[in-house]
């Protein structure tokens, strides 16, 4: 385990020094299994676990510090409810009946743990990407392979185009649409061959083709607004037996979160704006490809008119370039 003592937790969250680590250990184990082993890869995880007693190099200690910040916050979020109750013959009871937190304070605290944990994960990923020479084992992880093929390897890349408060949670909700939108929108616009060539260049760590990489910012902008259009209506939505409800913050109540029915007019306006911007960025990408068609001979544009003039079916020998 990468968090092995109460002192590791206290370095991030001021838990009681007398607290038994056994209380937290099950939740540390779950978060490591569900989140950090897949992200780091088994090889890098094993390397760090061997020096988790703080006996590692300065580089390993620096990486562990970033991992633990995210891990401890996610661990506290995962175990929050159970850590605040006891169980005996009479059933479950709160640890403190008289001096506990108000409900809104509990919700704020859980939300803080959740957001800090996931946002800390983005900080960790950016750090690993910036120090690949030091942590080469990260390249063995499936997560790294996925990042190499992603137009948005971290939340901050997406946030630079559409402001989501740099929230990892919002990004994860929107990212589930990327594959569908690439299959339905981006690939047909570019053509499979050109799209495949772009992915190949994105995977390279050096000597990338500048012409192909020049398309990536255009694709990112179009894809970001398409994802917002698809996902905006679902972010914050809960499906209950009473229908769809939208979760939002509210003041003046015992709870800082309440559910309200979706404001259809406001949501429609936001979706329309996202749709308009998505279409404009697709047009900008298409215009750039047309203006530079001689550089992108694999551009076939299978779902729109005015395909690349350098890609013609000349089997009948009826056309030529002068």
The pLDDT tens digits of the residues spanning 88-139 come to: 555 545 555 555 667 777 788 888 999 999 999 999 999 999 999 999 999 9
Write the pLDDT tens digit of every residue in 148-173: 999 999 999 999 999 888 888 888 88
What is the torsion angle, in degrees rounded to the nearest 10, for the CA atoms of residue 28, residue 29, residue 32 and residue 33? -150
pLDDT at residue 209 above 80? Answer: yes
| Residue position matching structure tokens 């398409």 | 226
Residue of 284, 277, 314, 273 lying closest to 189 (CA atoms): 284
pLDDT at residue 309 above 50? Answer: no
pLDDT at residue 252 above 80? Answer: no
Could you tell me the two tokens for 133? 């020479």
Could you tell me the two tokens for 280? 């404009």
| Distance (Å, whole) CA 137 – CA 131 | 11
Query: Residues 6 or more apart from 13 whose CB is under 8 A from it?
Result: 72, 73, 76
What's 227-262 look like in SS3? HHHHHCCCCCEEEECCEEEEEEECCCCCCCEEEECC
Is the Cβ–Cβ distance between 226 and 179 less than 8 Å?
no
pTM over 0.85, yes/no: no
| Distance (Å, whole) CA 274 – CA 304 | 21
How many Cβ atoms sit within 10 Å of the Cβ of residue 98? 5
How many Cβ atoms sit within 10 Å of the Cβ of residue 315? 6
How many Cβ atoms sit within 10 Å of the Cβ of residue 217? 16
E strand or H helix that includes residue 88: strand 85-88
How many Cβ atoms sit within 10 Å of the Cβ of residue 155? 26
Alpha-carbon distance values, 226 to 74, 174, 184 (Å) = 30, 10, 11
| Backbone φ, ψ for residue 240 (5° rounding) | -125, 180
| Distance (Å, whole) CA 92 – CA 85 | 6
Per-residue pLDDT at 196: 95
């Amino acid at each position: 385990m990468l968090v092995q003592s109460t002192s590791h937790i206290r370095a991030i969250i001021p838990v009681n020094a007398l607290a038994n680590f056994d209380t937290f250990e099950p939740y540390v184990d779950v978060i490591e299994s569900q989140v950090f082993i897949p992200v780091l890869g088994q090889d890098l995880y094993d390397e760090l676990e061997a020096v988790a007693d703080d006996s590692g190099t300065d580089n390993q200690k620096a990486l562990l510090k970033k991992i633990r910040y995210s891990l401890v916050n996610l661990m506290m979020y995962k175990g929050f409810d159970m850590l605040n109750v006891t169980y005996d013959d009479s059933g479950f009871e709160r640890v403190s009946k008289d001096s506990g937190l108000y409900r809104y304070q509990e919700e704020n605290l859980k939300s803080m743990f959740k957001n800090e944990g996931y946002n800390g994960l983005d900080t960790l990923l950016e750090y690993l990407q910036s120090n690949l020479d030091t942590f080469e084992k990260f390249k063995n992880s499936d997560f790294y392979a996925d990042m190499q093929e992603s137009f948005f390897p971290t939340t901050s890349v997406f946030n630079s185009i559409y402001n989501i408060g740099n929230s990892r949670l919002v990004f994860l909700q929107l990212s589930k649409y990327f594959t569908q939108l690439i299959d339905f929108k981006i690939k047909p616009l570019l053509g499979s061959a050109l799209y495949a060539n772009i992915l190949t260049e994105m995977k390279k760590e050096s000597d990338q083709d500048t012409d192909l990489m020049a398309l990536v910012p255009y694709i990112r902008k179009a894809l970001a607004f398409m994802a917002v259009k698809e996902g905006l209506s679902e972010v914050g939505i809960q499906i209950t037996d009473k229908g769809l409800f939208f979760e939002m913050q509210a003041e003046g109540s015992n709870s800082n979160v309440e559910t309200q029915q979706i404001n259809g007019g406001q949501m429609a306006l936001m979706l329309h704006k996202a749709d308009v911007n998505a279409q404009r960025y697709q047009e900008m990408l298409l215009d750039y490809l047309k203006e530079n068609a001689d550089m992108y001979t694999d551009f076939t544009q299978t779902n729109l008119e005015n395909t690349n003039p350098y890609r013609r079916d000349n089997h009948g020998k009826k056309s030529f370039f002068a």
